[in-house]
Amino acid sequence: MDFDETDLGMQLKDKNLFRQQCFIDGKWTDSLSGETFDVYNPSDLSLVGRMPNCSKIETIKAIDAANKAWDEWKKISGKDRSLIIRNWHQLILDNVDDLALIMTLENGKPISDSKGEIMYASWFTDWFSEEAKRAYGKTIPSTLADRRIITIKQPIGVCGIITPWNFPSAMITRKVAPALAAGCPVVIKPAGTTPFSATALVELANRAGVPKGIINLISVSEKDVGEVGDELCTNKNVRKISFTGSTNVGRALIAKSASTIKKVSMELGGHAPLIVFEDADLDEAVKGAMANKYRNSGQVCVSANRIFVHEKIHDKFAEKLAKKSSELKVSDGRKDGAQIGPLITMAAVEKVQNHVSDAKNKGAKIITGGDIDNAGKQFYKPTVMTNVTNDMKIFYEETFGPVAPLIKFSSDEEVIKMANDTNYGLAGYFFSKDIGRIWRVAEALEYGMIGVNAGVISTEVAPFGGIKESGIGREGAAEGLDEYLEIKYICFDGISN
């Protein structure tokens, strides 16, 4: 495809970072059919680029290439793999501006957020380049004098990596860096709406010295994704599926992976509560709620979807939150000072509209926002609403938009019960200064991650993941490496002659 001066490829310092092909066995390639699908900028609906529409056949080629390359890759020392991941890390840092621009054009998020995400993505290449050297086993005292027991950890094999559009770079490094560190090859299937952040990262991994066949990338249109997904989940040479996305797709992938008993990591949907107790520092709580709620226009799995506020401080909190929300700048992510970008698709806008109108019809009061913004069709105004109750969709479903629903409560028992009244269990937050309450509530909330007086808690050094229908497994931290390793127990007999 040719690009004129205004197009993405031409705007990059390094034009070769804009790749519109798949990557199989060390080569950039088109689909066998020659078919492509279009990728649009959600801010102005202009065409960003085209990607090959692959099928089962290219997927099998990528899996076979990965499986073949694995033989050599697993024999390389952890230290040597570490050096390659470190090179990748450095190249990501060297190309922050280009990577951020690609992300803003395909995802819509403000450039400052895109740069923030590239830095977040680089935390995982940094961390796992170090962890590559630390796949420790154990020595276990035997119950028999004549025996010695050890465990070793070994790479699981080819990993299918399926990622979402809301963090198009960080979700790739959070999975691929530990897979490489462990000694696994990967076949990546990025979101159809944001493939170019993924191809740029693969280009950099290739330049960093990742051997041919170890990183492969398959793209496919949303309408044909099932065919590629089925192959990744049922092919016997794929030993692990690592997925980040919605609970419903995750559920289907688990079911398909059962046919070949694959190990799975599932980072799924969330429905985070954020609780403000009456003893909280109100300004800190508003600051935490703003940072938590509006990042990526609320399209974040760990974003608060229900904000519970104690009745004594409810009105004051609502007023402050509404004022700050109305001051946010909604605009094309490329414009200076942009804070709220577009939602990813019209379907996402319709879901937000549906949740807001359902709540309004059932008695919720909109105190700011509540409508499409003048910035464009896919921009939704930061919205705060009060009088939210548990008969509204928003109380149970993930909204994935810039909407803050406030719910009044009067006791700790009541709010814990409401906060846990969901099938999800990813992240929960609360604001309080009472140390006894802090421990009690942190232990009582049924979530995989808890922020106490903090609205943003993701870090590469702590295990990220959910319970209940929010997922299986953890990413980041030492636990993130274990997801790509198998434990082998070795027993030595006949030690004492």
State the catalytic residues: 267, 301
Residues 261-280 that bind ligand NAP (CB under 6 A): 267-270
Q: How many Cα atoms within 13 Å fall on the side-chain side of residue 224?
A: 18
CA dist., res. 223 & res. 35, Å (int): 13
Question: What tokens were used for 77?
Answer: 């020392």
From the list 132-140, 244-252, 360-368, 431-439, the region that binds ligand NAP by CB under 6 A is: 244-252
Amino acid at 381: K
Residues 351-410 that bind ligand NAP (CB under 6 A): 398
Q: How many CB atoms lie within 10 A of CB 133?
A: 14
The answer to the question of residue 301 lying near ligand NAP (CB under 6 A) is: yes
The answer to the question of residue 345 lying near ligand NAP (CB under 6 A) is: no
- Closer to ligand NAP by Cβ: residue 87 or 244: 244
Q: Identify whether the C-beta of residue 456 lies closer than 8 Å to the C-beta of residue 462.
A: no
- Closer to ligand NAP by Cβ: residue 241 or 318: 241
Q: How many Cα atoms within 13 Å fall on the side-chain side of residue 212?
A: 6
CA dist., res. 387 & res. 407, Å (int): 6
Report how far Cα 92 is from the mean position of its chain's Cα atoms.
18
Shortest separation between residue 402's beta carbon and ligand NAP, angstroms: 15
Q: Which of 12, 92, 180, 191 binds ligand NAP (CB under 6 A)?
A: 191
Shortest separation between residue 67's beta carbon and ligand NAP, angstroms: 19
- Closer to ligand NAP by Cβ: residue 73 or 400: 400
Strands 148-155 and 138-140: antiparallel
Q: Which of 41, 163, 305, 378 binds ligand NAP (CB under 6 A)?
A: 163
Closest CA to 324 of 404, 257, 217, 233: 404
Residues 412-441 that bind ligand NAP (CB under 6 A): 426
Strand partners of residue 78: none
Q: Which of 21, 244, 305, 383 binds ligand NAP (CB under 6 A)?
A: 244
The answer to the question of residue 471 lying near ligand NAP (CB under 6 A) is: yes
Q: Which of 82, 87, 166, 265 binds ligand NAP (CB under 6 A)?
A: 166
Q: What is the DSSP letter of 380?
A: B
CA dist., res. 416 & res. 391, Å (int): 18
The answer to the question of residue 298 lying near ligand NAP (CB under 6 A) is: no
Give me the residues that bind ligand NAP (CB under 6 A), please: 162-167, 189, 191-193, 222, 225-226, 229, 244-246, 249, 252, 267-270, 301, 398, 426, 466, 471
